Structure 1
Amino acid sequence: MKGFLIAAPRSGGGKTTVALGLMRALRQRGLRVGAVKNGPDYIDSAFHGAATGRPSFNLDSWAMDDALVAGLAATAAEDADLLIAEGAMGLFDGAPGEQARNGSSATLAKKLGLPVVLVLDVSGQAQTAAAVAHGCATFDADVKLAGVILNKVGGERHVRLAASALETVGLPVFGALPRDAKIVLPERHLGLVQAADTSDLEAKLDALAGFVATHVDLDALHAAARPLCSSPSRKNALEPPGQKIAVARDAAFSFLYPHLLLGWRRAGAEICFFSPLQDEPPPGDADFCWLPGGYPELHARRLANARKFLDGLRAFASKKPVHGECGGYMALGEFLVDAEGVRHPMAGLLSVSTSFAKRKLTLGYRNATLVTDGALGPRGKILLGHEFHHATIETLGDDPAFALACDAHGGEKKPVGSRRGRVTGSFFHVISAE
């Protein structure tokens, strides 16, 4: 089993476009393509699944130990002919501290033994692209660059200038993608629109595949793949919080890491999905209810009017545990203020009220310690996760904290989230537990 990792010197350089185009183009050639995403971005992995027809998993060396990373990589590569990993941010960008646990794309490439294919946005430069690529190739001797794909080239002359300079530093060019405003994926306030919400997704992926196949030497790229270092380990990221777990799933609640569901099922738990937007309550025979993140702020009026869902959730919470992450946390609170400033009543199971009218980007890893025993673990249990949202807390209320947390930079842990009775919630998404 062989593979490679698609990376770039910076965010916005074209990694996702190239990765999705390659996944679909190689699949169209008859290859079984596995996919993984470096880091906590749960949106890209859903696009991977659409492009390859197989589940894609997030691999995060900051939040996951080596056994979990290797085991999930092996699962993604199972019965596949090729594994394509998509990087995050710039190749060496990651959290502070120990390099082996910094979450960078370079660290993942080393752990999995994958060569790096560097996507270089050469708009506004030519030969200088070789200096950038050479720096990436030599910054860490253990990171092996297989070659380069030029992106946003202006014409044949532009390609010749950049490619000839790259040849002098010993880096092959697998292809050159011209500027094309039509080859883009739509965006929303939290980044890409989710795969399930992208209109004509199959046609868009086919267009990406055709674009990449026309301008990239797929045979040379496939030949550059190297054997994957993986492990059959089936370690769980987070133990199942119940034997039968009710999970909200629809356009308002969709951000749940696939590796969590995989681990729960492997441990023997049953997953049952329900849709709050369809006014469905959590199944009464479930042991635990999980409200994932998503876009409740876009559906606040509909959620506020979903009486069967809200009444059923309250009845469930009176007897059994409920946990909400990010958007799920917002839905468990007293009120949610939408972008227009309209206040919508939510479940009222926690005292917090949140606002999308007053926005502030919050982004980063979280190291959280549970402050009391609960379905997610005993008091003192450490959860590692990630926070990414624009919503803010309007009023926190008087509920005690769910956990004490700090970011990847460390420092004193501070109260986060809320808990009341059997109900807990916070803005951070759990990736794994220590």
Structure 2
Amino acid sequence: MRDQQPVPSDAARRLSTREAAELLGVKPETVYAYVSRGQLSSRRVPGGRGSTFDAGEVEALARRNRRASAGSSGSRGSRGELSVRTGITLIEDDHYYFRGVDAVELAARHTYEAVAEWLWTGRMDPGAAFTAPAASVAVARRAVEALPEHAAPTDLLRVATIAAATADPLRFDLSGDAVLGTARTLIPTLVAALPPAGDERRDEGPLAHRLWTRLSRREADEASLRALDTALALLVDHDLAASTLAVRVAASARAHTYAAVSAGLGVSEGPLHGGAGGHAHRLLRDVLDQGDPAPAIEGELRAGRRIPGLGHRLYPGEDPRARALFTLLERIPHAEPALLAARGIVETTARHAPLHANVDLALAVLTVSCGMPSTAGETIFAVARTAGWIAHALEEYGERPLRMRPSGLYSGPKPPQPLPE
């Protein structure tokens, strides 16, 4: 009998896609989702179409997943709140971080597109650019143009999302690469589908430049464009906000990416979430019109409403997003009246409630100063957050299906009850 040739140690430690999936207890496409998020490395098979994976890496990831499943994944937090394992955003000590990196610093140094890529892949691409397919734009525009003139921004974006989905025959492919492809084309499609604010409709260049022409009739100056781009990057994600949780529930049920984004858009329309910027815009406009913050604030309180644009439950101190955006707004000459009005709102309410300005008030200063409508903040929020929603959907596709299924605490009549007459 001939002696067997020893198997090279490197080959002995590598697993096929099927073997890696079995060890992790997931589908083969989920293995590639781990690769796209930087949790596993892969190597192409020479002369073949498949990939191999380092056995040590796969075993380590399997151990981490088992520990996490036994701990916080889909469990109750220390305060009785639903907690979900995520590696995207951390909010801590009046700061927030994207994949461990200070989010404000990322937004200050990189474009919205580059920050989105960082969320999706964990890799920085300073030259990232998003291009909308002509077919998707055409069908999305037709759908949006069919809506009544009074349709809200989230109505337009939700309809555009659904229309774009119908133009994508690959929408049910939930592999990492496919979802990333959808992400890079859906966001510019949504912007391209929005009606222009004036005569110009810009469909090329950085996303912030394209969005500007949908929000303002004014000629954009460099400082204002920089503020808009930074606002998009600052708002791209904020942990498990209400809309993001809705997206993860949809993704947990394996809804495709367009459907998951549509779920997020539905929740973001609420006045306590994405619609909050509009309330801050209107308050700021009232203060500017009256020349005094006191009557406008009194009117809000008399109507039984909270003062919009102040305080945030996750930041006992100052909202870092507001601080970063206010710094940029101070460089815009025509923003001074709105900045003074915002300062007046904070100082007036501080007599009884020491609340800091939040990002909604900063966004209101941007939209008022740049001649944008009261709905502009809602549009900016929804476009920005779409990237974060897709990052969470991508992460959720790598988890156990239908894990986002809490049990209800029944509080109705004790059964069995007699049949109703």
Bin of the TM-score, shorter chain as denominator length: under 0.3
> TM-score, length-normalised on structure 1?
0.24
Q: Which has the higher contact order (CA 8 A, sep 6+)?
A: 2
Of structures 1 and 2, the larger Rg is shown by 2
- TM-score by length of structure 2 reads 0.25
User: Higher strand share goes to which structure?
Assistant: 1
